[in-house]
Amino acid sequence: MKHFRKELWFQVPTRRAFINITSQIEDCLRESGIRNGLLLCNAMHITASVFINDDESGLHHDYDVWLEKIAPHEPVSQYRHNVGEDNADAHMKRQIMGREVVVAITDGKLDFGPWEQIFYGEFDGRRKKRALVKIIGE
Ligand code: ZN
């Protein structure tokens, strides 16, 4: 069995953003040479997510509005976590949007359903952060 590991780095200039990383994941898959197996991608930070959904800007706006309703950034004083930091909402947003995705690899391709794309969700950006890609198979 072959295995492959790579870190993808991000420096998002805003506090929150959704970035389509599908082509970067496909580059990893090509680099790995693995044709059949499983791919894991996870955020390596507790204030960021990796998730799969549609690449549609209206939906991403809706996510942002929805997440702000559930875990609003302001006022930062409403959270006990925010002693010396201001990112309690980012921890909660990450919890809702998830840590990782697993995708089947079939004949050298991501074996997606219709419209599926992989996103890095940033909830406390403006610094260097990363996601891990691990691929196993043959
Ligand atoms: Zn924190």
Contact by Cβ (8 Å): 24, 41: no
What domain range includes position 30? 2-137
4, with CB counted inside 10 A (0-12, 13-18, 19+), is: middle
Question: What's the pLDDT at 29?
Answer: 98
Residue 88 CA, ligand 1 centroid: distance in Å: 5
Average pLDDT over residues 20-33: 98
Residue 3 CA, ligand 1 centroid: distance in Å: 33
Number of domains forming the structure of the chain = 1
Average pLDDT over residues 53-58: 97
Contact by Cβ (8 Å): 94, 43: yes
Question: What's the pLDDT at 81?
Answer: 98
Q: CA-to-CA distance for 59 and 85, rounded, in angstroms? A: 29
- Look up the CATH number of the domain holding residue 6: 2.60.120.460
Find where tokens 């506090």 sit.
15
Residue 133 CA, ligand 1 centroid: distance in Å: 24
Question: What's the pLDDT at 21?
Answer: 98
Question: By three-state DSSP, how is residue 89 classified?
Answer: helix
Q: Which two three-digit tokens encode residue 14?
A: 């805003």
Residue 61 CA, ligand 1 centroid: distance in Å: 24
Residue 89 CA, ligand 1 centroid: distance in Å: 8
Q: What is the mean pLDDT of the chain?
A: 98
What is the DSSP track for 104-125? EEETTEE---TT-EEEEEESS-
